[in-house]
Structure 1
Amino acid sequence: MQHQQQHRAQSRQSTINGEIVIVQGHKQPGSGKSASLRLYSCAEVDPKTGKGKMSSQTNLKHGKTKTSNGEKTRTYHVKFYVESSFGIPGAFVIRNQGKHRFFLQSASFETHSNQIIQFDCYSWVYPSQKTKKFDRIFFSNTKYLPNQTPQGLMKLRNKELISLRGDGSGERKEWDRIYDYDYYNDLGNPDKGPEHERPVLGGSELHPYPRRGRTGRPPSNADPLTESRPCTTNLDIYVPLDERFSPKKQSEFTSNSIQAALQFLIHEVKAVMQKDSNHFESFDEIHDMFSDNQNQVIEGSLEEKLKAMVPNELFKDITHAIKTPLKFPVPQMIAENEFAWKDDEEFGRQMLAGINPARIQSLQVFPPQSKNGVVSSIEPSHIEHNLEGMTIAQAMNNWRIFILDHHDYLIPFLRKINTKDVCTYASRTLLFLKSDATLKPIAIELSFPGFAGGQEISWVFTPARQGEAAALWHYAKAHVAVNDTVYHQLVSHWLHTHAVVEPFIIATRRQLSGMHPIHWLLDPHFKDTMHVNALARSMLINSGGILEKTLFSAELSMELSAELYKEWRFDEQALPADLLKRGMAIEDPDPDNPTGVQLLFQDYPYGSDGLEIWSAIQAWVTDFCMLFYTDDESVRSDEEIQAWWSEIRNVGHGDKSSETWWYHMTSREDLIKALTILIWIASALHASVNFGQYAYAGYPLNRPTLCRRFIPEEGTFEYADFLKDPDTYYLNMLPTRVEMTLGIALAEAVSRHTSDEVYLGQRPSSLWINNEEVSHKFEKFNQELRNIEKIIKEKNTNPELNNRRGRAEIPYMLLYPDTSNVESRGGITGKGIPNSISI
């Protein structure tokens, strides 16, 4: 009888076999072998819990280790016993009973009917003694809108979202997985002294700002409104564990950062030992900083000096790199033509194809005017002779005059800025579009506020080829480059990509379940961004950080970016809308043109390649949304999407909540527009302003970050110094030796693609959403990006497109998708569009 009962019980059971893959990183002892798992059924509900029925528990044992592309993984094979009615597993819960965290890459399970259920995980799993009651749950790669959720997963779906939101209290620990918002109240460090006080950004009309992820650290002692800083040597600022670097990325990022810091320290120590001047004394000295990566051994005395300058733990990490390049790699800016940076045509080309290509605009009114009506000092006589025989009116009517405007937003800050041992102007630069589609700078106006609130003081410079006038024109271009560099770093790069995207990430995690198809669509475009931003708040944009040490805006840098956030509109981040706003394109009535715009001239590399990429993203997002949303009502009735959009507007970008330009999110069109813009910002826009930094700014004379002298005026002692030696005056006008070196090291570090980067049109693994139609549409997207790669290559070899390479012979590759399946890559390639803001 007992044997018959056992036989009947076994006949009611079936087995599910599984495979669990864990990544073992450098200095990461966690292997997962002390973990246990249980599966949740999709459809079979446990009447006691209201959740899907659970399988038996199984433990991870006897895993097999392999190494591929420098990454070590450990694979465990597991078996679960379930009732025959269990059906398909829709989720699993994992408990780490060991002492160390581990990085769970993926899981897959095969049912008795040979159906394979896949799970992309890519997250850290911390010991249960840390996380206490919160075991980690992962949902399968099958995605559901809220009202389509299988019965067994509904409670799990809601419970998971509630746990991710937290209760808004307490200090976050590294093992927490909680997303909440906060102001930028952690940039200052008033406990170090009043010079480190910084205003809170966000939550006020004076300093509006996007929100950042909350850490919950206690307030500082000196100012209750400012969050206390973590230990200065601890860069492990809290970010939710799903947002943290993978083991491979962490190791590579640390290595790259150490190498950049080492380069800077070596040059600084050498300067101290050799008692060099504070400024470079010749152009040759600057060129000597670069080489073709020839290794040289650090001399003993230099090693001792270096050891005295860095913490012991850091020096231990870099001892293996003592045989290291003592010179930076040659930037592309001087690799083919070391004098190209001086050329007027190259100066104009970089406004179309450099690292800040979205600031230039067509001139609408001559002479230019400020928003408050103050008229520029540029007169017709300054420019008429440079318009190829046209009058000013004719040139403007034919869209031939352009302006790079760094005037209005800077003027209110200059009185404070110019008390900090820097000499900064606000600038307006007029350029003429020549018949060969190159931009010729034809006038530069440099201004600063009048004394005691009087009228602005301005000087106008025009091109000259010889003598004193040529040198002064060259100085004026340097001041314009300084303005453009600071705007690029603080606004085009930091604010318009890193900062504005973070609230979208937080809202997505809090309001869109991991089961939601839009969560799946967006997830690769959020990879590593919160971690990178946290590191930036720790080292780059904080008081005393690298940007304050290298930019003319110094401690006013983040206030300046907050001032420019006042102008930010989400809808205008769409590339076609941006081009129309800047007068770089006109509306195109052709219904076959998916962008709806036509460039004023095709030899605008950023605009031309950008519209190709924009169209591909828009088509992919449209295809994807059409698969899951049958009509507008299905968007309106999606409670998670509505909560997501409401939170972005009212909390994440809460200082903009009253603006009328936000999409209403009542139609598929609204959703498609919003998602296209978001993916464009996180991928292509960021790539266009980030990965060319070493190519262009790695040579500091091309993109200086500040000036220490004004342009000399006739009749002054400074003018006499200028006449005596124009080159020495110029070098002393630019950043100091240390500032330049620090800027080069930063440009090198942030320009690198990591070897584990995942590019637009790719997914991080062979695992996939369980939907054949999505797979088909994504392949279509990938193929379109491959076609764009061919188009870009053809453009770059077209001799009629002068702005594709310029005098510096730098082909425009910053919007080249690079979808090829290369197993391992990285370094300063200048090409490739990563899915996310991951550096």
Structure 2
Amino acid sequence: MDHGWCSNLPDWLISGCANQATHLQVIQGTVVVRRTFGRSGPGKSASIHLYSSTSIDPANGKARLSEHATFKHGRKAKQNGESTIIYRIKFHVEPDFGVPGAFITKNHDTHEFFLISATLQLLGNKKIHFDCNSWVYPFSKTKCSRLFFSNACYLPNLTPEALRPLREEELHFLSGDGSGERKEWDRIYDYDCYNDLGSPDKGQDYARPVLGGSVKYPYPRRGRTGRPPSKKDPLTESRPEIIDLDIYVPPDERFSPQKMKEFISNSIEDVVHFLIPEAKTLLKNESTGSFQSFKGIHEMYSNNRNEELEGWITEKLKTLVPEELINEITHATKRQQLKFPTPQIIEKKEMAWKEDNEFGRQMLAGVNAAVIERLRIFPPISKDGKMSTIKASHLEGELDGLTVDEAMRQWRMYILDHHDYLFPFLERINKQGVCMYASRTLLFLRNDKTLKPVAIELSLPGSEDVEVVSRVFLPASTGTQASLWHLAKAHVVANDSGHHQLISHWLKTHAVVEPFIIATKRQLSVMHPIYRLLNPHFKDTMHINALARSILINSGGILEKTLFPGKISMELSSALYKNWNFREQALPNDLLKRHLALEDDESPTGVQLVFDDYPYGADGLEIWIAIKRWVGDYCRIYYISDDTILSDAELQAWWTEIQFEGHADKRNENWWYKMDNLADLIETLTTIIWIASAFHASVNFGQYGYAGYPPNRPTLCRRFIPIEGTVEFAEFLRDPDKYYLNLLPQRFEMTLGVALVEVLSRHSSEEVYLGQRRSLEWTDNEDVQKKFKNFSETLMDIERRVNERNKNPKLKNRLGPAEIPYTLLYPDTSNVSLKGGITGKGIPNSVSI
């Protein structure tokens, strides 16, 4: 026999070729399994059958199935930094079996294993690769085998006939029937409302409204867990009595064991950073009060004392955190130095955060840089017709000799508006013991393109006679007015911090992406090219969202403890979801809506920035067009005309489900693309990828750099700005700095907030960035691989240009007074080491933290 097809195989594969029976064909290959600490791997307890993609079994009309093989001769290896076991597999199949296109594996063991990939070697050195990356649970639990398809992509109507029934059955299986409580091993994707935020069984104070499914509280849907209802409210899903880190998400959506270990370890480390200084007073139910000086705040970053938790504190801790974490926390206190890393905002210039230039720059280059708008009406008018109390006379002398009208005509007036959406909630918010205003901040664009704040309006609900009570504050450099101006800026930033965390970050990335994930898994086969394009951008999102529902956004959770809206935080995010429009999430459309760009048919993005020194806008548009070109190149490989879009049954079902189930409260057709042409598909996919990767990176990974120093970005205010002639004003005059410190969150909320943003700002050590894929064999299409390489190279070019812009002294907003280079949209694609940590740069593929 001619064994030439074996010439490139390892010796251990060649040995089996010579002895094959003449009437059977031998297919050999490997499977790669993640090595789990303390387990030997599945070995022979896992069996595998191949499905042909070209030959149909006449007995059942499905793909022909091979005899089974088992995992043999496992050897340990490292792949992409992971510890793995590589097993050999060998099949004897009939000569007319054809080309394998799928396989099923059955786990006879008592433990699950993680199957990374499989590779088959055929005649003529042809390889078929399967990117699996999935858990295979014991058959005794699942009552079914696991199906995997090869890396070949097919539109539904081009699916090989042999594989068509398998494709349809797998999608039906993943959708479930919408009933029952989900178990750890269930691979079911279904929708539910946010009915698990409250804990009414703990008392009315912990009850929260159901978000989603009503006109009053619209919201994106989440993944269904199916837990039983609470005892006191049948509409609210019950919650565990302790923090639940094992809340259900489909197995393939979970963090890897390494990432989960890292996440818990980082969280413990950061909790320890704030716990020791606060524990003794906190756990004795004593008020920790305010920091008494800025020096006291700075000690959080310089205190190197190593201390251990006293025994009584450890016992008290058991009421706050899961028991399994107590040992970790206790151990951590023995090895951790008790300091936070120095945030960027005070690293080079300790007091630069107080400057007006830095205050304005952060609206263009900070962590919430997609909110500021160009002012088009003066005075600003609320949606209900109420006019701002800021007058043209307030701005005299602040506009470089221009009138307000002249400055507006020259596109030099801007507004940060936290008024209209917030005002209806203020009365309820302030009853929770905080002192918050709704704010409008007007800014003037100087000749050097820096933003100068020129007026701040702070408003409160009034009495029956006066609906709104407003005060206007103006910039000053010295004396009492300068101190009042500083307090006014703190209130503005507190508004912005709440909006950033609840709206820009949580709602507009984490929450809105989850329905896209669920619909993709339910309606697009893994063989579908759009599934293959999108799937990396969904990695770990459902799991981090589930953890957020467990410890961050739930009643009594960390966000309620640290953000000014408190118990109505999620209600507030629901109110702003009413204004969410998918089309407007595209960066060019967003810039046009905020009047920070003009339409430009000659630009590849279709827009031109009003001024170039807008770091978020400038870098973002480069990333946007790179993603769009890649998406367009990819889609044109599979879709040759608009008719192929309309005839793609899976794609149309996917898009319909997103609108009518995933975002069921947002059915206005004007908010969505019609999905009847290639342009709509490209714009839709570009927007999804932009949200999940670049936009999330821009609002997440700079959090510690800016909010790690709370005076720069307080999350709530505990004092109103004093009125002249009052006792409070006299207190303010005696010591303005002390009054400012007493306005900030208390020590506990402040340090807990710092610990939170330190966790959220960290990159995982296994992060995969935009323009990267963990597997080089994620597709079998050489044209796709070539286009993806072009995409990666384009992102590397963008990195170079970002660095050049950051070094350009004419672009004042790239560094600012605090000298923080703008790198939140620096792709970091060229970084292949994947070390993780707080870097303030890098665009991960997905919302994974």
1:408 is matched with: 420
Aligned length: 827
* Alignment counterpart, residue 260 of structure 2, candidates 250, 258, 266: 250
- Which amino acid in the other structure matches residue 689 of structure 2? I
* C-alpha distance in 1 between matches for 2:455 and 2:210: 39
- 1:374-389 matches, within 5 Å, as 374-389=386-401
C-alpha contact 1:23 1:247 (8 A) present in aligned 2? no
User: Which residue number corresponds to residue 3 of structure 1?
Assistant: none
Distance in 1 (CA, whole Å) between partners of 2:161 and 2:499 is 52
TM-score by length of 1: 0.96
Q: Is residue 2:45 matched to residue 1:34?
A: yes
Q: What do the CA deviations read for 1:326-365 (whole angstroms, capped 9, x no partner)?
A: 0111111111011011010000000000000000000010
What are the superposed Cα offsets for residues 261-300 of structure 1, whole Å, 9 maximum, x if unpaired? 2223223225559988411111000000013xx864324x
Gap change, CA 1:264 and 1:9, over 3 Å in 2: closer
The correspondence of residues 523-602 of structure 1 with structure 2, limited to 5 A, is 523-590=535-602, 593-602=603-612
Q: Given the alignment of the two structures, is residue 56 of structure 1 paired with residue 67 of structure 2, yes or no?
A: yes
Contact 1:31–1:74 under 8 Å retained in 2: no
The more displaced of 780-789 and 314-323 is: 314-323
Cα distance in 1 between the residues matched to 2:185 and 2:84: 22
Q: CA RMSD in A?
A: 1.7
- Which among 432, 435, 443 is matched to residue 431 of structure 1? 443
What TM-score do the two structures reach when normalised by structure 2? 0.95
* Equivalent residue number for residue 114 of structure 1: 125
Query: What is aligned with 1:658?
Result: 668
From 306, 314, 331, give the equivalent of 1:297.
306
Alignment of 1:176-215 (within 5 A): 176-215=186-225
Question: Any idea what SS the aligned residue of 2:162 has?
Answer: helix
- Indicate the residue corresponding to 1:78 in structure 2: 89
Aligned with 1:156 (options 143, 166, 176): 166
Paired residues of 1:296 and 1:324 also in contact (CA < 8 A): no
For structure 2, the residue ranges without an aligned partner over 5 or more in a row are: 1-17
Task: Select which of 504, 510, 514 maps to 1:498.
Answer: 510
DSSP 3-state at the match of 1:536 = helix
Instruction: Work out whether residues 35 and 85 of structure 2, in 8 Å CA contact, stay in contact via their aligned partners in 1.
Output: yes
Tell me which residue corresponds to 1:805: 815
Q: Which moved more, 1:761-770 or 1:332-341?
A: 761-770
Tell me, what secondary structure is at the counterpart of 2:48? strand
Aligned to 1:744: 754
Q: Does 1:92 align with 2:103?
A: yes
2:42, 2:71 within 8 Å by CA — same for their partners in 1? no
Structure 1 Cα separation of the partners of residues 305 and 794 of structure 2? 45
CA contact (8 A) 2:278 2:288 kept: no
- Does the 8 A contact of 1:367 with 1:377 survive in 2? yes
- Find the residue that maps to 2:96 and give its secondary structure: coil
1:287 counterpart residue number: 298
**1:570-626 deviations in Å (ceiling 9; x for gaps):** 000010000000010111132xx2111110110000000000000000000111111
Instruction: Indicate which of 787, 794, 800 corresponds to 1:784.
Output: 794
Q: In the superposition, relative to structure 1, how do residues 57 and 771 fare at CA in structure 2: closer, same or farther (>3 Å)?
A: same
Look up the match of 2:29. 18
The correspondence for 1:472, drawn from 457, 481, 484, is 484
Distance 1:422 1:122, change over 3 A: same
- Match of residue 353 from structure 1: 365
Alpha-carbon distance in structure 2 between the residues aligned to 1:756 and 1:8 = 43
Aligned equivalents of 1:546 and 1:453: distance in 2?
Answer: 38
Three-state SS of the structure 1 residue aligned to 2:73 is: coil
Task: Describe how 1:480-495 pairs up with structure 2 within 5 A.
Answer: 480-495=492-507
TM-aligned CA distance change 1:337 to 1:26, over 3 Å: farther
Does the CA-based 8 Å contact 1:103-1:247 persist in structure 2? no
Question: Is the alpha carbon distance of 1:453 and 1:568 closer, same or farther for their aligned partners in structure 2, counting shifts above 3 Å?
Answer: farther
Counterpart in the other structure of 2:4: none
8 Å contact from structure 1 (residues 550, 742) kept in 2: yes
Shift of 1:451: 1.8
SS of structure 2 residue aligned to 1:580:
helix
Q: Give the equivalent residue in structure 1 for 2:735.
A: 725
- Out of 638, 653, 656, the position equivalent to 1:643 is 653
The answer to whether 1:224 aligns with 2:221 is no
Per the TM alignment, residue 139 of structure 1 is displaced from its structure 2 partner at its CA by 0.7
Whether the 8 Å contact between 1:22 and 1:74 is mirrored in structure 2 is yes
Separation in 2 of the partners of 1:73 and 1:384? 69
Q: How many angstroms apart in 1 are the aligned matches of 2:848 and 2:612?
A: 31
* Closer, same or farther: CA 21–144 of 1 in aligned 2, 3 Å: same
SS in structure 1 opposite 2:28?
strand
Structure 1 equivalent of residue 11 of structure 2? none
2:452 equivalent to 1:440:
yes
Q: Which residue of 142, 162, 165 maps to 2:152?
A: 142
Quote the offset at 1:727 in angstroms: 1.1
C-alpha change, 1:271 and 1:193, in structure 2 (3 Å) is closer
1:14 maps to amino acid:
Q
Q: How far apart are the structure 1 equivalents of 2:749 and 2:671?
A: 41
Q: Is contact 2:513-2:692 (8 Å) kept?
A: yes
Change (3 A) 1:126 1:568: same
Q: Whole-Å Cα distance in 2 between the matches of residues 107 and 723 of structure 1?
A: 72
Q: Pick closer, same or farther for the CA change 1:215–1:358 going to 2, 3 Å.
A: same
Change (3 A) 1:278 1:32: farther
1:617 aligns with 2:616: no
1:67, distance to aligned residue in structure 2 (A): 4.5
* Residue identity matched to 2:761: S
| 1:34–1:96 Cα contact (<8 Å) kept | yes
Residue 406 of structure 1 aligns to which amino acid in structure 2? H
Looking at structure 2, the residues matched to 503 and 273 of structure 1 have their Cα atoms a distance apart, in angstroms, of 40
Post-superposition CA distance 1:635-656 (Å, at most 9, x none)? 0000000000000111111111
8 Å Cα contact 1:91/1:140 also seen in 2: yes
Give the drift of 1:96: 1.1
The match for 1:332 is 344
Give the letter aligned to residue 509 of structure 1.
K
Question: Could you tell me how far apart the structure 1 residues matched to 2:833 and 2:118 are?
Answer: 22
Supply the distance in 2 between the matched residues of 1:28 and 1:513 (Cα, whole angstroms). Answer: 32
Q: Give the deviation of 1:384 after TM superposition.
A: 2.3
Residues 672-751 of structure 1: pairs in structure 2 closer than 5 A: 672-751=682-761
8 Å CA contact retained: 2:360, 2:453: yes
Helix, strand or coil: the match of 1:506? helix
Percent of aligned positions with the same letter in both sequences? 61
Q: CA deviation at 1:657?
A: 1.1
Q: Distance in 2 between matches of 1:72 and 1:277?
A: 46
Letter of the aligned partner of 2:754 in structure 1?
I
| CA–CA distance in structure 1, aligned partners of residues 338 and 94 of structure 2 | 65
1:263 aligned partner, one-letter code: H
Deviation at 1:779, TM superposition (A): 0.8
For residues 201-226 of structure 1, the C-alpha deviation after alignment (integer angstroms, 9 at most, x for no partner) is: 11111111111111111110000000
Q: Is the 8 Å Cα contact of residues 35 and 59 (structure 1) preserved in structure 2? A: yes
Aligned with 1:107: secondary structure?
strand
Contact 2:43/2:74 (<8 A) preserved: no
Q: Give, in whole Å, the separation in 2 of the partners of 1:752 and 1:480.
A: 27
Taking the aligned partners of 2:281 and 2:802, their CA distance within structure 1 comes to: 43
Give 3-state SS (helix, strand or coil) of 2:414's partner: strand
Alignment partner, residue 4 of structure 1: none
Match of 1:309 in 2: 317
| Whole-Å separation in 1 of the counterparts to 2:510 and 2:725 | 47
Question: More deviation in 304-313 or 345-354?
Answer: 304-313
| TM-aligned CA deviation for residue 309 of structure 1 | 1.6
Q: 1:193 to 1:273 in 2, by over 3 A?
A: closer
1:466-502 Cα distance to aligned partner (Å, 9 max, x none): 1111110000000000000000001000010011110
